[in-house]
Structure 1
Amino acid sequence: MPSPFIKVPDMHKQEFLDEVARLSFFRSRNLALVLFLLNILFIIFDIVNYQEGLWYWSTLSGYSKLFYLHVFLGFVLTGFLLLSWVHDLKSEDQKVNCWHTYLGIFFSSFIIIFSCCISINDQLLHNQITVFILGCILIAANNYMKPLVSLINYTFSWILFILGIMYFQSDLDVLKGHYINGTILIVYSWFLSLTLYKMKIQDFINRKTIEQKSKEVEASNNELIEINNRLEASLQALDESQNVIFTLASALESKDTYTRGHSERVANYALQLAHTLGLSVKDQETVWRAAQLHDIGKIGIPDAILNKPSKLNEKEWEIMRSHPEMGETICSTLSFARDFLPLIRHHHERFDGTGYPDGLCGEEIPFLARIITIADAVDAITSQRSYRPSRTIDYALEELAKGKGSQFDPAIVQAFIESFNYA
């Protein structure tokens, strides 16, 4: 059974009352139509009883009173149906007005009281209270009434019932039975009405909760869809920016036959070394991307300096040494490159602190930048240049060993050498 303390939240109270009024109105109208048709049959039976001599117009008896009650019921039901037609609800979302509420309450009250009157009159005929029982239970199950309204209705009908049977019923045993049965009936009917009303409240609250949760889920889904759309747009923009920048890097290397493919080879060496050192997948991806773009700053170096076959002078070297900073500046506006900007800037730092552009030494140099430095040196040694032929990988490993502790991180060099020796 639903909790007796359950209440409709204030924000939905009017909506609940409108819904209850709407349901009671429709149910009252349907029940009134059924009772109207049944009442026609009852009047026909009353006429048959008249023809059989069970009652006369000139004498007020139980059967004649029953006939008058049926006629009265017919007039009331006709009026109610006409009013319900005038104040009909054309659609489920049409606003309920006070007439719909009053008609529902009136019909419920009338049927309970009328069934009570029928059973009181029945004491002159069959000593039964069957109609009163049916009327109370039917209204309790069919219509939704507020607890206070239903309590007033049932209490008034109970008082009327007790007074009526006391007046018309002379058999004390029958009267005692009616007292007990009538009281139990009223208590049960009110309890049934209260229970169904509370169940309606619980059902309404559950629906509102589901609607609220559905709205929250829908809002979350819409938010996720929006986030997903933005993410897709960002990923697309990211892919486009990466493609542009990698294309620029390739275009840069295409200007010099001797350095063509240099960045890709450096990236492969760096990735191999990162894998050997057991770095995470994220670090391996970062070092690979940074290695691909480590020389992107050379796009701002004049071709005459880049492709000069002879030794660069001091001024030219100064310009050449600016390419790590230029690379960092070029990539600083790219969101995908923010994690490895320090690697681009510091890939020419030396372990002993004599490198450029910032003269960092030892652990001050980013770890992944030290990997790229070694990979860059290996490819530079093993690639053909305008001023010398390419060297073997063994020669490159020997040069790395000579540069341990001065140009290169000794631990990383040792890992690189061991990986080649193992292979």
Structure 2
Amino acid sequence: MTAETVESRIEPGLEEQIAELGRQARTAAQELAISSTEQRNRALREAAAALRAGTAAILSANSQDLDQARNRGTTGAFLDRLALDEGRIEAMAKGLEDIAALPDPLGRTLAAWEQPSGLEIERRSVPLGVIGIIYESRPNVTADAGGLCLKSGNAAILRGGSESHHTSGVILDCLREGLLAADLPESALQRPPTSDRAAVGHLLRLNSCIDLIVPRGGRSLIERVSEESRIPVLAHLEGVNHCYLHQAADPEKALHVVMNAKMRRTGVCGAAETLLVDRAVAEELLPPILKALRDSGCELRGDDAVRRLDSSVAPATDTDWDTEYLDAILSVRLVEGLEQALAHIARHGSGHTECIVTEDAQAADSFLARVDAAIVMQNTSTQFADGGEFGMGAEIGIATGKLHARGPVGADQLTSYKYLVRSNGAIRP
């Protein structure tokens, strides 16, 4: 059965269309929950093969999306997040294969014990059920999110941004080929049949069918979902990430970490947006870093102390310290030491990823223990904030809240558990 066949069964009327998607997903989730490990892994491997075979079709659809984006005046990092090439398609396929190679997150005995009453109790991992995923621009999220939901036995309704509508549709067709090859229900992975933003509102009210909403995008999307959803939300907030160069930082290491954290890909949520530097070593550390950033095309905005070291740095405003640029822009501030760096991060950070560059083990341990973020690093580029780099195969996003899951959301984080209780006819007195 093709994607067109599934969608053609839905009666007109957007709200009813979304409700029907939810009903189909709920039925599919019940089947996925009892599917075998090999079935789900086969579906992932077959989907990876379909992505490779469909490279030309994916690139053609992506070209259409890119042309429309350029016609709307879109430039810079947004186009980079939207654009695919053969390398990125291969990375998506490899990501699905990596997910297939992971241990099955379902059916694990998380704990087991016996009570004096004769109860034998087991806590076992199970799928969440149906997950609604709402995301912007990056079409690779379709493959990552769909693959992780499949691995963890969850059905998914994938609502990508209108800017990647054509590309995401072709990628979803490849995932569905994998489902069919493994004799799993095609309705396990669906998307609304329209790019109309009203579809998001209908999804957020479908608490009778959807168990969790995962939004991945900018602040406006996260705020809308958090305000409107009748369903629990696992939020992926913006990444206002900091690199802090401590007074014991190795100069060469600091240069390489900062350059990679900012400039490897400026449009990803793990990119560094603010550089903090201890005043005591700023004259030594900062000039070569600022030069390298500028030579790479990065716009620099700094406080007065930074501008006294380099007058070509533009003045930073109060807004800069709270901005996720997702572009070749970096705000720079001098601090008096670890305590002031921690205070700045506590005030302006988004709880995503924070890094200290230092050879002082005590300072590093204090930073890692005291910074309240999903990911805290030492001497490591913030661009490693990625489920694939963490060995998860892929990720749906970086969860910046503290309930259910935090940090990269992989297959394990898309499970819950239930208690299995057995006895030999125990009754409670």
**TM-score (normalizing by structure 1):** 0.22
Larger C-alpha radius of gyration, 1 or 2?
1
Larger RCO, structures 1/2 (Cα 8 Å, 6+ apart): 2
Higher strand share: 2
Q: TM-score, normalised by structure 2?
A: 0.22
Instruction: Select the structure that is richer in helix.
Output: 1
